[in-house]
Chains A and B, each alone.
Chain A
Amino acid sequence: MSEFQPKILGFLCNWCSYAGADLAGVSRIQYRPNIRVIRVMCSGRVDPVFIINAFLRKIDGVMVLGCHFGDCHYLNGNYNAEKRILAARKLLSLTEIEKDRLYLDWVSAAEGERFANLVNTFTERIKNLGEIKINDGTKEMLLAVKDVLEGERFRHLTGVEYQVTEKENVYGEKIPVEDFEKKLEQILYEEYIKARILRLLQNNELTIPQIAQKLNTALDFAFKCVCSLQENNIVEMKGIRNGYPIYSANKY
């Protein structure tokens, strides 16, 4: 039996990490061959949706490598990339897909060796994690994560996080990063569960206990999420079963 060879995708920014990878090549530094690279102009361009799509296509690990802080060719693209990728990792931690399959780090144009080391280490880690398990269950989870990542709330919050926590918000104030992160974490969890519920209700009419059981979440939390969906006319009440309202997704 041949050894497991993970499929690894790397997003590299044009100005630093891609140049670093080039340098590794020019310097003939040898590293593991599992990585395939996509060049983007800035790590800030990496839409987390790309990453989920990669996982859904059975890519076992994704690396996002940008410039070191302060070096970004576009001033603060890498800061934004950090917020976004870390948030995406938080979302992954809610699924059965290991969050460590997504990795973010910084490599400068002069760090050929560092690049090679990072690739080797990450490849090793993914090898240890084994092949990504894409089945009906995990697919649902990843699709829900994708829904969240595509959603306005995620994009908006991760988009402004750097500005409001590190620089200043519209009132000229700074929001403590811990406060923001705490809020964000709650929001991501809720958005994820809402996305899962919505997917469930696309083709099913379910009660709250059924939803909670399928998602393995607390009854009250499931109810709270359904109420929020209902308030926005995404989910509607269809009738009553066993003393509970049944819900389904609004077709409009």
Chain B
Amino acid sequence: MNTQKIGAVLVVGGGIGGIQASLDLANSGFKVYLIDSAPAIGGIMAMLDKTFPTNDCSMCIMAPKLVECARHLNIKIIPDAKIEGLSGDAGNFQVKVRKKARYIDAKKCTGCGECKKHCPIEVADRFNQGLTRRKTIYIDYPQAVPAVYAIDKNNCIGCGVCEKLCLAGAINYKDTDIVENINVGAIILSPGVDVFDPKVYTKFGYGIYKNVVTSLEFERILSASGPFSGHLLRPYEGKIPKKIAFIQCVGSRDPQVGKNYCSSVCCTYAIKEAIIAKEHSKNGLETTVFYMDIRTFGKGFEDYFNRAKEEYGVRFIRAGVSKIEEISETKNLILYYENEEGAIKKEEFDMVVLSVGLVPKPDMWNLSRILRVNLNNFNFCRTSEFIPVDTIRDGIFVCGTFAGPKDIPETVAQASAAAGRAMALLTESRGSLVAKKKYPDEVDVSNEKPRIGVFVCHCGINIGGYVNVPEVVEYVKQLPDVVYAENNLYTCSQDTQKRIIEKIREHKLNRVVVASCTPRTHEPLFRETIREAGLNQYLFEMANIRDQCSWIHMYEPESATEKAKDLVRMAVAKARLLAPLKRVEIDVIQKALVIGGGIAGMSSALLLAEQGFEVFLVEKENELGGNLRHIYKTVENRDVRYFLNQTIEKIRANKLIKVYTNARIKEITGFVGNYRTKISVGKFEDEEIEIEHGVVIVATGAQEYKPTEYLYGKDSRIITQRELEEKIFNHSTTEFFNDKTIVMIQCVGSRDNERKYCSRICCSQAIKNALNLLEINPDANIYILYKDIRTYGFKEELYRQAREKGIVFIRYDDAKKLELQTENGKLKIKIFEPILKEDLIIDPDLIVLSSGIIAEPNNAEIAKMLKVPINSDGFFLEAHVKLRPVDFATEGVFLAGMAHSPMTIAESIAQAQAAAARATTILSDKKYYAEATISSVNEELCAGCGMCGALCPYEAIVYKEKDGKKISSVNEALCKGCGTCVASCPSGAMTQYGFTKKQIMAMVEAL
């Protein structure tokens, strides 16, 4: 019997999670089948207008990944598909997949849209949440992947017009469902979620009152490609709203509708929508958020919340809305609510947005039965805190919202983690099923006169709304060497890539300029495109007319247009001088350095070692374990000690992992693929070791804040949560639990003036400890004094239990500070009780401070050595808060665990596995292809003065002898391409490819 594992993975669901998992797998040697039940991948993220907390345009950051998926040689996208059966076991599954008839041949359809123009039948558009209608032959959104139309057979009258009009001959009315057996080694589930249907709350009148919308509908309303072309109008009759209310927790935290969990994302997305709505409105818009607790627990979210209040003037009211009434003449809405003082208030609004929660898709139960994976009480996939992306079934992994409500970065991290778990399972078959990309032979353009093609992007209305794009195109056409110019709605969309290739061939273009967004995100995409057309990828230049023009000059369209013309002219001037370049191949040392031996570092190390990579695990303490050494039980009551010991044993037993304890990083030199690191080992730094490795994972962890407030350290009856947990599980101090009254104070060292961020885990930790205390001493009176209770996700259940068991929750805020005093040796806490509206005095026997998480102080040192950034709170700053949560901008360096931000054990493990998977995309290949824009010496001109060598921080310039003369020479592998040497060369011998003197001067002179 052939026991060889199959080097292919099936990814179920093509939202951002499925996309990330597919890319990581495909980029590290596995064949991927990506199936989606919809006609296009993209999931919910594709429907979003902006993403929190940076207000990045959702489609803009997602489009490059969509396109990469679409054009990846080793990713096969199967849309309109679902799983019907499964046989086999981990390593070798047979999956029966049914692909619904699309009635359009995906290979022939060019996505031109002519069919759509003439189709006579319209139906509600699912993508726009039914706010607009689409034709029965349709494509979900302009950047959809695959960029292929589909026929909605249920609504089609079968008139046949599309077939007559389709020049590509892509229409096939005889199409049938196809059932196909796919052979894979592992399965990753990322089917995503739906949003809650608020019709069950009759009190809100959703579905009856037209100006009551869901948050996802509102997202579409805000979107430039949405129903009202990006104008903020209310859906009834298109009036410009002046007052919008957001109602939180619609379908979340409500046992009455079977949703006793927190959807985790609604608070922050409501804040985002309120901010964006205000930005949309030129004549002033009032936005009010009605909430129970604001749960802005993610990295940078609290700051976002504060800015919404202070800078944007979003109004927040802590109140539940009991009912909505519509005024029949104006269609305005009256909200009835009870404020914190208990008074019933009513207020009129133009429009109401229901912040609907996330719910599992209806067919998940069926899917779980076919795959034999377990669901939890709420029909989400059941996972365990210590193996967060594993299902109960070997070889089937899960990521994203199907494993519980979560935001995009967490989904992306879990996706990489799930990919990593699949890689580990299938390591032996890596590379067995992949194909290599073949590019057309590069056309030699060195002897040709430049023929430049310019593509100017509307970016929906992001550019086109402020810059007169057709005018720019007309202008560009007159520039020297420009032989072709056109505008595109979205230059980044897949169909435009095809178009660019066509135009290159049609007009024999040998240079391409795209005027759109920033090269930092989109340059790789366009380079790939021209490469496919046979051009060297460096014959490309971008003009940034969105981020650095249309978006920052929104009120001066004429100046913005002038500026766009200048920027394109400058880009064209540079493009005329572009020359083909080659990327240097670098050997990769297939070993990893993991900094930090806490749970994150250990998890990363294990996942890498399981794939056969050597790992150096460096821990500064004298034992492994980090913060886990002080934690006994998880919030789900799992035994942390046991898990920790097991993990350490696994690390010790693994021959590929070399552990250094009591070790400090002294120096890191080198670059992706080739690092050399000095470590001093031992308490007295008595040994110095030098190691070589290809990647670095930073997992330095974080610390519990040692409070200076509330008499901590001055009175033994005042302790932190961590100290309490030690005591609870250390039975020698049982007398301690005779304490009758225990007060826990939340947000100590978090959400205050010094540390504005939320430490995310303290609410759950406090409730966990409180419940454990009650187990030991059922008579205890426990008070938890809080600002907002942030038991997000399924931790909400814990909060419910706590209230049920009589734990008293009292809110305080910064305006009404807590007062703690000692009177005759007794502790006294004064707190203003918002419901009773009077001061309450509690005499606690024990006070537990829920102190926050603070960054590791030596992060700064590591950051300097690795040349990676840290944020103002001292945590490491990832490459992109949404889509690259465990990467640094610097290639080859990754991030995991609390070094990133405060997080739970499960979240740390997921990130750690993600970082390992991301690292594997480099380690799995013996070669790394470096940048091409490096320095070079003209040996004729070099006078051998050595100025350049003295300036180079990478020691990439060395002397060599040539014809009896000493001259400089560049080590191509070491050069990182800053160009500093070039700027200092007195004899003009140095140059930097892609940024030559002539090119930059041409840009200066074009102005």
> Interface on A for B, CB 8 Å cutoff?
152-153, 156-157, 160, 163-164, 169-171, 173, 175, 180, 183, 187, 208-209, 212, 219-220, 222-223, 226-228, 230-231, 237, 240, 243-245
Complex CA gap A230/B226 in Å reads: 12
Question: Considering residues B121, B157, B173, B240, which has the most beta carbons from chain A within 10 angstroms of its beta carbon?
Answer: B157
Complex CA gap A237/B227 in Å reads: 13
For the complex, is B237 an interface residue (Cβ under 8 Å from A)?
A: yes
**A183 / chain B contacts, CB cutoff of 8 Å:** 121, 157
Given A156-B118, A228-B133, A231-B132, A175 and B157 contact (CB-CB distance below 8 Å): yes
Contact assessment for A160 and B157 in the assembled complex, using a CB-CB cutoff below 8 Å: yes
Complex CA gap A176/B240 in Å reads: 42
Contact assessment for A164 and B157 in the assembled complex, using a CB-CB cutoff below 8 Å: yes
Contact assessment for B240 and A245 in the assembled complex, using a CB-CB cutoff below 8 Å: yes
Contact assessment for B238 and A223 in the assembled complex, using a CB-CB cutoff below 8 Å: yes
Closest partner residue, chain B, to A165 (CB atom): B157
**B173 / chain A contacts, CB cutoff of 8 Å:** 170-171
For the complex, is B433 an interface residue (Cβ under 8 Å from A)?
A: no
> Knowing that A243-B240, A245-B233 are A-B contacts, what are 7 other residue pairs whose CB atoms are under 8 Å apart, sorted by A's residue number?
A160-B157, A160-B161, A175-B158, A208-B238, A220-B210, A237-B229, A243-B242
Closest partner residue, chain B, to A175 (CB atom): B157
Contact assessment for A223 and B121 in the assembled complex, using a CB-CB cutoff below 8 Å: no
Q: Closest approach, in angstroms, between the C-beta of B839 and any C-beta of chain A?
A: 46
**Per a CB cutoff under 8 Å, which of A171, A175, A245 touches B238?**
A245
Closest partner residue, chain A, to B238 (CB atom): A223
Contact assessment for B236 and A220 in the assembled complex, using a CB-CB cutoff below 8 Å: yes
**Per a CB cutoff under 8 Å, which of A169, A220, A227, A230 touches B157?**
A169
Complex CA gap A163/B153 in Å reads: 18
Complex CA gap A209/B331 in Å reads: 13
Complex CA gap A169/B136 in Å reads: 15
Closest partner residue, chain A, to B160 (CB atom): A170
Complex CA gap A231/B282 in Å reads: 22
Chain B interface, number of residues (Cβ within 8 angstroms): 28
Contact assessment for A223 and B236 in the assembled complex, using a CB-CB cutoff below 8 Å: yes
Q: Which of B136-184 contact A (CB under 8 A)?
A: 153, 156-161, 163, 173
Closest partner residue, chain A, to B229 (CB atom): A230
Contact assessment for A209 and B120 in the assembled complex, using a CB-CB cutoff below 8 Å: no
What are 22 A-B contacts with C-beta separation under 8 Å? A157-B159, A160-B160, A160-B161, A164-B157, A170-B158, A170-B159, A171-B153, A171-B158, A175-B158, A208-B237, A209-B237, A212-B237, A219-B236, A220-B236, A222-B237, A223-B238, A227-B132, A227-B227, A231-B132, A231-B229, A237-B231, A243-B242
For the complex, is B228 an interface residue (Cβ under 8 Å from A)?
A: yes
The 5 A-B residue pairs with the shortest CB-CB distance in the complex, in nearest-first order: A169-B158, A219-B237, A160-B159, A223-B238, A170-B173
Complex CA gap A200/B240 in Å reads: 22
Contact assessment for B283 and A240 in the assembled complex, using a CB-CB cutoff below 8 Å: yes
For the complex, is B239 an interface residue (Cβ under 8 Å from A)?
A: yes
Closest partner residue, chain A, to B162 (CB atom): A170
Contact assessment for A220 and B237 in the assembled complex, using a CB-CB cutoff below 8 Å: yes
**A226 / chain B contacts, CB cutoff of 8 Å:** 238
> By DSSP majority rule, is chain A's interface helix, strand, loop, or mixed?
helix
Question: Considering residues B120, B227, B228, which has the most beta carbons from chain A within 10 angstroms of its beta carbon?
Answer: B120
Q: Closest approach, in angstroms, between the C-beta of B103 and any C-beta of chain A?
A: 9
Complex CA gap A228/B132 in Å reads: 8
Closest partner residue, chain A, to B159 (CB atom): A160
Closest partner residue, chain B, to A247 (CB atom): B238
**Per a CB cutoff under 8 Å, which of A173, A223, A240 touches B240?**
A240
Q: Which of B109-131 contact A (CB under 8 A)?
A: 118, 120-121
Closest partner residue, chain B, to A173 (CB atom): B158
Contact assessment for B237 and A187 in the assembled complex, using a CB-CB cutoff below 8 Å: no
Complex CA gap A228/B125 in Å reads: 12
Closest partner residue, chain B, to A151 (CB atom): B120
**B159 / chain A contacts, CB cutoff of 8 Å:** 156-157, 160, 163-164, 169-170
Contact assessment for A244 and B240 in the assembled complex, using a CB-CB cutoff below 8 Å: yes
Complex CA gap A20/B822 in Å reads: 114
Number of residue pairs A-B, CB distance < 8 angstroms = 76
Closest partner residue, chain B, to A156 (CB atom): B120
Complex CA gap A152/B133 in Å reads: 18
Complex CA gap A167/B158 in Å reads: 12
Q: Closest approach, in angstroms, between the C-beta of B533 and any C-beta of chain A?
A: 31
**B282 / chain A contacts, CB cutoff of 8 Å:** 240
Q: Closest approach, in angstroms, between the C-beta of B865 and any C-beta of chain A?
A: 55
Interface string of B220-231 (1 = CB under 8 A from A): 000000011101
Given A169-B158, A171-B173, A245 and B231 contact (CB-CB distance below 8 Å): yes
Complex CA gap A226/B160 in Å reads: 28
Complex CA gap A65/B426 in Å reads: 76
Contact assessment for B160 and A169 in the assembled complex, using a CB-CB cutoff below 8 Å: yes
Closest partner residue, chain A, to B158 (CB atom): A169
Complex CA gap A204/B528 in Å reads: 49
**Per a CB cutoff under 8 Å, which of B133, B228, B239 touches A243?**
B239
**B283 / chain A contacts, CB cutoff of 8 Å:** 240
Given A171-B173, A173-B158, A244 and B231 contact (CB-CB distance below 8 Å): no
Closest partner residue, chain B, to A160 (CB atom): B159
Complex CA gap A156/B228 in Å reads: 28
Complex CA gap A180/B156 in Å reads: 11
**A156 / chain B contacts, CB cutoff of 8 Å:** 118, 120, 159, 161
Question: Considering residues B132, B173, B233, B239, which has the most beta carbons from chain A within 10 angstroms of its beta carbon?
Answer: B239
Given A240-B240, A243-B242, A170 and B132 contact (CB-CB distance below 8 Å): no
Complex CA gap A212/B240 in Å reads: 17
**Per a CB cutoff under 8 Å, which of A157, A223, A237 touches B237?**
A223
Q: Closest approach, in angstroms, between the C-beta of A38 and any C-beta of chain B?
A: 29
Complex CA gap A60/B909 in Å reads: 83
Interface string of B742-782 (1 = CB under 8 A from A): 00000000000000000000000000000000000000000
Contact assessment for B120 and A157 in the assembled complex, using a CB-CB cutoff below 8 Å: yes
**A212 / chain B contacts, CB cutoff of 8 Å:** 237
**B156 / chain A contacts, CB cutoff of 8 Å:** 171
**B240 / chain A contacts, CB cutoff of 8 Å:** 240, 243-245
Complex CA gap A212/B161 in Å reads: 33
Complex CA gap A152/B117 in Å reads: 10
**A160 / chain B contacts, CB cutoff of 8 Å:** 157, 159-161
Complex CA gap A205/B228 in Å reads: 18
Q: Closest approach, in angstroms, between the C-beta of A165 and any C-beta of chain B?
A: 9
Q: Closest approach, in angstroms, between the C-beta of A221 and any C-beta of chain B?
A: 9
Complex CA gap A227/B229 in Å reads: 9
Given A164-B158, A170-B159, A152 and B118 contact (CB-CB distance below 8 Å): yes
Complex CA gap A137/B134 in Å reads: 33
Closest partner residue, chain A, to B153 (CB atom): A171
**B238 / chain A contacts, CB cutoff of 8 Å:** 208, 223, 226-227, 244-245
Closest partner residue, chain B, to A240 (CB atom): B240
Complex CA gap A212/B238 in Å reads: 12
Contact assessment for B120 and A244 in the assembled complex, using a CB-CB cutoff below 8 Å: no
Interface string of B231-273 (1 = CB under 8 A from A): 1010011111010000000000000000000000000000000
Complex CA gap A165/B236 in Å reads: 35
Q: Closest approach, in angstroms, between the C-beta of A207 and any C-beta of chain B?
A: 8
**A164 / chain B contacts, CB cutoff of 8 Å:** 157-159
Q: Closest approach, in angstroms, between the C-beta of B441 and any C-beta of chain A?
A: 42
Closest partner residue, chain B, to A230 (CB atom): B229
Contact assessment for B233 and A187 in the assembled complex, using a CB-CB cutoff below 8 Å: no
Q: Closest approach, in angstroms, between the C-beta of A228 and any C-beta of chain B?
A: 7
Complex CA gap A245/B132 in Å reads: 18
**B227 / chain A contacts, CB cutoff of 8 Å:** 227
Q: Closest approach, in angstroms, between the C-beta of B121 and any C-beta of chain A?
A: 7
Complex CA gap A170/B164 in Å reads: 12
**A175 / chain B contacts, CB cutoff of 8 Å:** 157-158
Q: Closest approach, in angstroms, between the C-beta of B118 and any C-beta of chain A?
A: 6
**A209 / chain B contacts, CB cutoff of 8 Å:** 237
Q: Closest approach, in angstroms, between the C-beta of A36 and any C-beta of chain B?
A: 35
**B161 / chain A contacts, CB cutoff of 8 Å:** 156, 160
**B160 / chain A contacts, CB cutoff of 8 Å:** 160, 169-170
Complex CA gap A100/B210 in Å reads: 38
Complex CA gap A169/B45 in Å reads: 37
**B163 / chain A contacts, CB cutoff of 8 Å:** 170
